[in-house]
Structure 1
Amino acid sequence: MIMIIERSSEWEEGFINRLENPEKWDSWTLYKMSYEIVKTNLITEFSGLQSAKYLPNLTPLTHQLEAAKTVIERMNGKAILADEVGLGKTIEAGLVLKEYLIRGLVKKALILAPASLVNQWVEELNQKFHIPAIPYKKNYPIDRYDIIVMSMDTAKKSPHRELIYAQNFDIFIIDEAHKLKNHKTQIYEFVQSLKKKFCLLLTATPIQNDVFELFYLISLLKPGHLGNYETFQSAFSASKHDLEHDDYLRALVNQVMVRNRREDTGIEWTNRRVQTIPIQFTKEEREVYDLLVELKNVSSVFSGSFALITLQKEMCSSKEATCLTLTKMREDCVAPDEVEYVDRIIEKLMALEINSKAEKVLEIIAQANDKVIIFTEYRATQIYLQWYLHVKGITSVLFNGKFNKNKRDYMKRLFKEQAQVLIATEAGGEGINLQFCHHVINYDLPWNPMKLEQRIGRVHRLGQEHDVHIYNLAIENTIENNILELLNTKIGVFEKVVGDLDDILTNYKKTI
């Protein structure tokens, strides 16, 4: 059906009559009605939130309303929203944005998020907050839209970066802001250069590896709040994993950061049941591991600590991941004895028939008798585990960063409706909500404890109705012992500055 819209000309007759005859130009009744409407919509005081009145599709939780109120009233719209995973930082940011839009303090907004979360942001802003956000596409006339959601990777590159600089955005909202932790990266320099009237940084993990990450994050919001780098380092005797005067530093941090913990929300949460499970290599696996450690004395190609550490970590994961890396490194070996030594390791790797860690996974899945998420750091291990579980009669689906949004959504649905196990790489640790599952196996341990928190937060979040069981697997007398030690050290730094962290490595001292 074609609808024809014509411009009305009826107003002309009334306009001419008023010009030629002493007709009334206005209506006192209509004026009073307009006056009352404007008076009703006036916000007569700045304290308190008005936005909740305009959200028929959303009932914010108390801690979310308080967070938004704190950002607006105490932090002047520049804040780190650092609630624990699953408490609704997106909702808090939406409340702040809606409030500023209602009050007329914000007209143009740019939301930066990982590419996988762009559509999720657009949907939430439109459906829950009635904010007309659009996802940015290349060649969009950026000046014609007021509320834009864009991926970080797109925003930092030309010509999009220059287009953003040319606009007068009133507020920037940056999701997964821990991706800005390295001040030498292109995305950090891009955000640093933005003219930020209001700015929200969203991250459950403002410290991931060391205390200087928080320094640089806060410096994006309020340059000089913690002094310059040298002053900060001196005042708090700060090193990567230690500092002094942490009470004073925490007080300064709390001036720009809102952090709600699960136990502070008044909501009844299910428990975390965390186990760190020691695993023994078989004799054959141990032999290969020891040969890998000796590589540093055999070839200069492997003398770098990073290369050797990578191989040791991969050996604790799967022979498939190890063999891929070792084969690539073999190409750089020159001396015949070096090549011979590497070939010997590859031969022994391929002869291995048992993966001790995979056998433990099978045991855990059998005991759980329920849906399970497995996190690994290597795609080769991911594929191996799917094959191994298939042979044992267990259905599984993969989830990794190479999948586009449609495939990610499809895998999530398959996991919910059909498969027993989801095998995810680190990409599965962000942006998906899986409350229908309550068993998490950390097959490979990351160096960063906040990655563990992100993984667990996929299931231990609002809507979870069961206790969540977490299994951290670690092979004894390997590099995974060192990883556990460092994870605990980093957790200590986080808790000194940011606050207590929920259990992610309980029972470590008892089991390893």
Structure 2
Amino acid sequence: MSFSLGQRWISDAESDLGLGTVVAVEGRMVSVLFPATGDNRMFAREDAPLTRVIFNQGDTITSHEGWTLEVDAIHEQDGLVSYEGVRSDTNEVGLLRETMLDHQIRFNKPQDRLFAGQIDRMEYFVTRYLCQRQRFGMLKNPLRALQGPRAGLIPHQLFIANEVGNRHAPRVLLADEVGLGKTIEAGHIIHQQLLSGKAERILILVPETLQHQWLVEMLRRFNLRFSLFDEERCIEALADCDNPFETEQLVICSLDLLRKKKRLDQAKDAPWDLLVVDEAHHLEWSESAPSRAYQVVETLAQEIAGVLLLTATPDQLGHQSHFARLRLLDPDRFYDYDAFLEEETSYQQVATAADALLAQRPLTDAEQQALVALLSESDISDALGRIQSGDEAQRQLACQELVRELLDRHGTSRVLFRNTRSGVSGFCGRELHTYPMPLPKQYATAMRVNSMLGGTQSTDIKLMNQLYPEKLYQEFEGESGNASWWQFDPRVDWMMEFLKANRSKKVLVIASKAHTALQLEEALRTREGILASVFHEGMSILERDKAAAFFAQQEGGAQVLICSEIGSEGRNFQFAHHLVMFDLPLNPDLLEQRIGRLDRIGQTQTVQIHVPLLEGTAQQPLLRWYHEGMNAFTHTCPSGHLIHSEFADQVRSELAGETEAGALEQLIEATAARNAEHQAKAEAGRDKLLELNSNGGQQAAQLVTALEQADDDTDFISFMLKLWDVIGVSQEDKGENAVVLKPTEHMLFPSYPGLSEEGASVTFDRDTALSREDFQFLTSAHPLVASGIDLVTSGDTGSTSVALLKNKALPAGTLFLEMIFKVEAIAPSEVQIGRFLPPTPVRVLMDKSGKDLAPNVTFDSFNRQLMPVNRHTASKLVNASQPVLHPLLKQGDDYAQAQMSELVAQAQSDMEQQLGAELTRLEALKAVNPNIRSSELDAVREQISMVTAHLQRAQLDLDAVRMIVVTPE
């Protein structure tokens, strides 16, 4: 390499240093000063990682004084170059010596980097193009948001998520029964709103006891990092902002926090896009005296465009309160309770008509007349004719079409979704097994002594001693005791024998207290060596994750997971089929939560519920009250909350032993009768039309099929493994369909956003992700995918390359130029321009005559024939080919411009077809269904206008370029 003082060079390894100047050449060393940064580097002359910078005719260059010059001629003397051309500041011909070039010059355009000798490895170029293709496919995929979460593909959940998540500022009540996944539906909707840009700021209001559960669910299932706000956090946030609610985009807080006027005013003043309220049945309302909680939500709902209300029991506080929640969603639509009741009476005839259509048989004259009356605004004669024809396929399509029209035009289907267990498949049933055991004398003595020494005891203390005698016995042992209760408690002996007889089975054990769970684990380990994991509220989130993962692990994992009561909240263990209740909770809602950890959609076997109980204690009457009074073990009991509040005092007195003989039988009989009344009332009040709309039918099944196919996409897995290879991420096969990713010291980039130094275990398999919560579930919607793609495409990595093609059919020296352009329309996220024109790679493959070969030569087939070349040789090939490359670059740009025009026209057509059809449908529905809000129509019209405007400003940029030279075999 020949160096002269004053020459300009760039560092191949540190291109961000800018343009360097040779300041010393001594012996075998050369010194280069980089004035832009002040750095001085010394290199060995023979193999210095430097590239000489010489511009070409037609280039525009900048002097260190700021004026520019378009190069017309190049002169060289004594190893230094001068450029002749017209100066921008004087419009006169002048010379610019290379020593006077701007030090800040960086070669960001691919063609500039290519001619400057900044040539990347061929695999980087390939990866860059694959990243552009992958991102295009991701953004065009309408189901990407539904595929991403760690959740089962449950038809009714997906239907609701897709239906609501695609709306502008959705305002709906999600009212599925317990165990049907309201939280998952809400998470899906939140995820879809964020991913599409429809929402950016979200506030979730929950009871204080559920804050942590929501925080974990949003992170674990949807990769959404919410912030938990309490009074302490609000005070701390004041250091950064006057309004603490403006310091975070995604916030979870308790409803109690906002009961304070100051906090409510702050939350109201923050610019939220979506409000989510869990346990909305607690919002009590009457026209004269709405509760404070209701007033809080009403205040926020008036300010926030999107509102999701969640409740499993919409009528729990009465039908009037149910109306009040609908009033929160749309006060103009639901303005009068009596009018609402009158409207409900008309739903029955619509449901009857829907039933006739769902039978998919020829209709009677009366049924046809009823449909014509109900759909009077539409001409349905063609659909009725197809139903009456003998063509089964046509009849099925016509019936589905009319059912959809009925659902669109009648009832509360736009604002209310409710699925019940009776209408959803996927539950395998429950069986109860009870094991009465004699009360140990140690417990009997402790209870007797406590009664003698305790004086007058409250009912609550008496019943707690009766329900949990092991806790009372431990109090007598004191802190120095060795927890000897488990050495004589017959429930422990029974549990050990049961576990030994079912060693191949996963068993979930739940006890009310954390210390009981810990001591049971000790008993199993020390007495029988049974492998158990423990899970309680004193553990960190990470510790709980590890315990749950150890239990879920099929080979070498724990046979038993022993939980305190917290184990019945938030976690799902439907891969297990045996539940042991070491004791019983005092609240039927907690009982249902315990059983619900196993009895969920996705459970493949009947849930076996095992209850060992001590005779002569409160455990026996409590079990009978649950089982005989409410049937709460073998079936869900939606009325459990109402029954508990109605009979709570009687139950507590009975369990404390304060009632007369025969009182238990009377209590059970009264409870059973009341439960039957609640069930009959609930069944009579079922809105068949609502259930038809909520489960999604054929549309839901189609969503599941499409997502199952997307899950089976092995090309995506191959792409990610290749991407991690190129970035330099370590990948270790962990078995169980999992890979351990770890950053290395040799990565192309200083860090990988989303990948911690400790690494992460990931899986591409949905079933594995559902059973192993310590594995991250990788789909195209996962942040690790987007950040990996951005690492490669946001900078210069892979934007230039040179390759050799061995082909006997072509003369040696034949040249090709492959150009990858990117068509992009920049727009605010809420415009959703990506639905129609995401950043789109356009490939052009030029031969030396200027013909585009790309339509006939695919990237993958062409790339397989190419071989890499070292940078030194590549630079020489580029310099020798510059006279040919410059016109090819211009012609390639012309080809790409023509393709961009076609892409923009197609995007405009797609947008007009999709949004136009959506607008037409909503306009037609608004004429007959008052649930269609004017704001929804205005949002679609605005989106059509904005998409059109931004499409017209689409830009074309050259993203990467590769020169290919044919070489002899």
Q: After the TM superposition, which residues 172-251 of structure 1 pair with which residues of structure 2 at under 5 Å, given as runs?
A: 172-175=275-278, 191=297, 194-195=300-301, 198-204=306-312, 211-212=316-317, 222=327
**Which of these residues, 270, 281, 292, is aligned with residue 167 of structure 1?**
270
Contact 2:473 2:485 in 1 (8 A): no
SS at match of 2:573: coil
- What amino acid is the match of 1:195? A
Structure 2 Cα separation of the partners of residues 437 and 364 of structure 1:
15
Q: 1:94 to 1:371 in 2, by over 3 A?
A: closer
**Which of these residues, 289, 301, 322, is aligned with residue 472 of structure 2?**
322
Q: After the TM superposition, which residues 91-490 of structure 1 pair with which residues of structure 2 at under 5 Å, given as runs?
A: 91-97=184-190, 108-112=201-205, 114-122=211-219, 124-126=221-223, 134-136=226-228, 138=233, 139=237, 147-152=249-254, 156=258, 163-175=266-278, 191=297, 194-195=300-301, 198-204=306-312, 211-212=316-317, 222=327, 258-262=417-421, 264-267=423-426, 269=427, 271-282=428-439, 284-285=441-442, 287-288=444-445, 291=448, 294=451, 299-300=455-456, 302=457, 304-315=458-469, 318=470, 321-323=471-473, 354-369=488-503, 370-390=505-525, 391-417=527-553, 418-487=557-626, 488-489=629-630
Residues 132-152 of structure 1, C-alpha deviations (whole Å, 9 max, x = no match)? 764357427666578514243
Alpha-carbon shift at residue 214 of structure 1 (Å): 9.2
Contact 1:374 1:423 in 2 (8 A): yes
Which residue in the other structure is 1:42 paired with? none
Contact 1:397 1:422 in 2 (8 A): yes
- What amino acid is the match of 2:429? R
Contact 1:79 1:257 in 2 (8 A): yes
Structure 1 range deviating more: 453-462 or 218-227 = 218-227
Q: After the TM superposition, which residues 4-43 of structure 1 pair with which residues of structure 2 at under 5 Å, given as runs?
A: none
- What amino acid is the match of 1:93? A
SS at match of 1:374: strand
Contact 1:60 1:91 in 2 (8 A): no
Q: 1:283 to 1:134 in 2, by over 3 A?
A: closer
Q: 1:379 to 1:125 in 2, by over 3 A?
A: closer
Alpha-carbon shift at residue 409 of structure 1 (Å): 0.7
Structure 1 Cα separation of the partners of residues 493 and 613 of structure 2:
13
SS at match of 2:468: helix
Structure 2 Cα separation of the partners of residues 435 and 376 of structure 1:
18
Contact 1:76 1:198 in 2 (8 A): yes
Contact 2:161 2:186 in 1 (8 A): yes
Q: TM-score, normalised by structure 1?
A: 0.61
- What amino acid is the match of 1:388? A
SS at match of 2:307: strand
Residues 13-46 of structure 1, C-alpha deviations (whole Å, 9 max, x = no match)? 9xxxxxxxxxxxxxxxxxxxxxxxxxxxxxxxxx
- What amino acid is the match of 2:472? T
Structure 1 Cα separation of the partners of residues 314 and 277 of structure 2:
13
Structure 2 Cα separation of the partners of residues 214 and 398 of structure 1:
43
Q: After the TM superposition, which residues 63-78 of structure 1 pair with which residues of structure 2 at under 5 Å, given as runs?
A: 63-68=156-161, 77-78=171-172
- What amino acid is the match of 2:173? A
Contact 1:219 1:226 in 2 (8 A): no
Alpha-carbon shift at residue 406 of structure 1 (Å): 1.0
Identity across matched positions, percent: 23
Q: 1:4 to 1:478 in 2, by over 3 A?
A: farther
- What amino acid is the match of 1:272? G
Residues 50-106 of structure 1, C-alpha deviations (whole Å, 9 max, x = no match)? 975764546964312444578799x97241433432x43234224544676799975
Residues 129-175 of structure 1, C-alpha deviations (whole Å, 9 max, x = no match)? xxx76435742766657851424389558786553232243432234
- What amino acid is the match of 2:254? M
- What amino acid is the match of 2:419? N
Structure 1 Cα separation of the partners of residues 609 and 284 of structure 2:
27
Alpha-carbon shift at residue 399 of structure 1 (Å): 0.8
Q: 1:123 to 1:484 in 2, by over 3 A?
A: closer
Q: 1:351 to 1:192 in 2, by over 3 A?
A: same
Q: 1:496 to 1:52 in 2, by over 3 A?
A: farther
Contact 1:292 1:311 in 2 (8 A): no
Which residue in the other structure is 2:178 paired with? 84
SS at match of 1:419: coil
Q: 1:322 to 1:194 in 2, by over 3 A?
A: farther
Contact 1:176 1:203 in 2 (8 A): yes
Residues 332-351 of structure 1, C-alpha deviations (whole Å, 9 max, x = no match)? xxxxxxxxxxxxxxx9x978
Structure 1 Cα separation of the partners of residues 615 and 424 of structure 2:
39
- What amino acid is the match of 2:589? M
Contact 1:399 1:425 in 2 (8 A): yes
Contact 1:101 1:107 in 2 (8 A): yes
SS at match of 1:195: helix
Q: 1:145 to 1:408 in 2, by over 3 A?
A: same
Q: 1:483 to 1:402 in 2, by over 3 A?
A: same
Structure 1 Cα separation of the partners of residues 298 and 606 of structure 2:
41
Structure with the higher fraction of residues in strand conformation: 2
Contact 2:447 2:472 in 1 (8 A): no
Alpha-carbon shift at residue 392 of structure 1 (Å): 2.2
Q: 1:399 to 1:204 in 2, by over 3 A?
A: farther
Residues 193-223 of structure 1, C-alpha deviations (whole Å, 9 max, x = no match)? 543554334455779xxx5499878756647
- What amino acid is the match of 1:63? H
Contact 1:399 1:428 in 2 (8 A): yes
Structure 2 Cα separation of the partners of residues 481 and 449 of structure 1:
15
Contact 1:121 1:149 in 2 (8 A): no
Q: 1:71 to 1:285 in 2, by over 3 A?
A: farther
Structure 2 Cα separation of the partners of residues 4 and 216 of structure 1:
68
Structure 2 Cα separation of the partners of residues 454 and 299 of structure 1:
36
- What amino acid is the match of 1:164? A
SS at match of 1:278: strand
Structure 2 Cα separation of the partners of residues 453 and 68 of structure 1:
25
Structure 1 range deviating more: 277-286 or 142-151 = 142-151
Which residue in the other structure is 2:155 paired with? 62
Alpha-carbon shift at residue 371 of structure 1 (Å): 1.9
Structure 1 Cα separation of the partners of residues 590 and 171 of structure 2:
28
Q: 1:98 to 1:119 in 2, by over 3 A?
A: closer
Q: TM-score, normalised by structure 2?
A: 0.35
Structure 2 Cα separation of the partners of residues 214 and 163 of structure 1:
32
Contact 1:285 1:352 in 2 (8 A): no
Contact 1:382 1:425 in 2 (8 A): yes
Which residue in the other structure is 1:242 paired with? none
Alpha-carbon shift at residue 471 of structure 1 (Å): 1.3
SS at match of 1:481: helix
CA RMSD in angstroms, aligned pairs only? 5.0
Which residue in the other structure is 2:105 paired with? none
SS at match of 1:482: helix
Question: Which structure 1 residue ranges, 5 or more long, are not aligned?
Answer: 14-49, 127-131, 229-251, 329-346, 501-512
Structure 2 Cα separation of the partners of residues 103 and 416 of structure 1:
34
